[in-house]
Amino acid sequence: MKILLLDKNHPLITEQLSAKGFLFEEDFTSAYEDVLKKIGHYDGIIIRSRIPIDQNFLEHAKNLKFIARVGAGMENIDVEFAKKSGIQLISSPEGNRDSVAEHVLGMLLILMHRLFISSQEVKNGIWKREENRGDEILGKTVGLIGYGNMGKAVAKRFSGFGCKVIFHDILPDIGDEFATQVSLDTLKKEADILSIHLPITKETHYIIDEKFIAEMAKDFYFINTARGKNVKTNDLVKALKSGKVKGAALDVLEFEKASFENLDTENDDLQFLLQSEKVIVTPHIAGWTVQSKQKLAQVIVDKILAQFSGH
């Protein structure tokens, strides 16, 4: 099978698959139109986010048997058309779930205990104790929306903090020893901390908006390591200003480019997030560790071999 690599990934992908007889071509720079001209020659592609795999792309990919995304989200792919075309879709959310879970806890602890703020103050000769009094996770209720690979890994990490963990998911009966499944109304009533772990779909686009925030019974901390467009930023900013959202830890932003490599806009809402002491922002790196780079690649290799090793 001939495979086209459209993004740089861990070298174990080519090393292990080449050893099993797969053939590779790397193209990390060609634009969309140039890739179209040759995509018909390949049986598989391995991607991250650089090239959109839309219907037009797939119509040119006459021999394509699989698309492997090194990561979790598939929003860069026309999934429905790919399935209709008989193309196997492979992703690797198992590979970076532990990285995401640690990032959630890290951002939340920094936010609630004012670690970054107080450290910067001390480094600048400012010694404030009462103003930097922290807030504990112990005794709080953590609400997760989405209980797939990421949500489950996050719940497991929270289990040692003496808090109650609840979640809402569209799939029924998937609770475990780390979290209890509840209705969305119950989650909104009980949660002190809200963390979302959702793909971006028509149903989840702007799921966190003014109405949702208003329906939360308590003032709450908010964490987003999923997708920026799950959240209507302007409504989040209003809630931060009013105090309804006590603090926000954001690894993803509504204003990211489709490739997640940079921001594509500047506006007052973004500037507020970047300047507010109530907000922590990181550059879409929750799933981005030394270990996850290798694990993401290994999951992809294992899944390709499981399905196509005899071809």
pLDDT attached to residue 49: 85
CATH 3.40.50.11810 fits 2-91, yes or no: no
Query: At how many degrees (to 10) do helices 97-112 and 115-123 cross?
Result: 60
* Rounded-to-integer distance, Cα 85 and Cα 231, Å: 32
pTM higher than 0.85, yes or no?
yes
Give me the catalytic one of 50, 114, 197, 284. Answer: 284
Q: Is residue 256 among the annotated active site residues?
A: yes
Query: At how many degrees (to 10) do helices 268-275 and 233-242 cross?
Result: 50
Residue 285, both tokens? 């790196």
Q: Is residue 168 among the annotated active site residues?
A: no
Residue 147, both tokens? 């209980």
Could you tell me which residues are beta bridge partners of residue 231? 208
What's the Cα-to-Cα distance from 186 to each of 23, 36, 168, 192, 292, rounded to whole Å? 52, 48, 9, 12, 34
pLDDT attached to residue 259: 63
Residues in the chain, pLDDT under 70: 259-261, 264, 310-311
pLDDT attached to residue 30: 94
**CB 104 within 8 Å of CB 286:** yes
Measured CA angle at 194 (ends 70, 152), to 5 deg: 45
pLDDT attached to residue 207: 98
For residue 4, report the phi and psi dihedrals to the nearest 5 degrees.
-105, 125
pLDDT attached to residue 262: 74
106: Cβ contacts below 8 Å, ≥ 6 apart? none
* Rounded-to-integer distance, Cα 6 and Cα 42, Å: 12
Q: Is residue 131 among the annotated active site residues?
A: no
For residue 14, report the phi and psi dihedrals to the nearest 5 degrees.
-70, -35
Domain 96-281, CATH class in plain words: alpha beta
- Residue range(s) occupied by CATH 3.40.50.720 in the chain: 2-91, 96-281
Give me the catalytic one of 114, 197, 227, 254. Answer: 227
Give me the catalytic one of 59, 256, 266, 277. Answer: 256
pLDDT attached to residue 257: 79
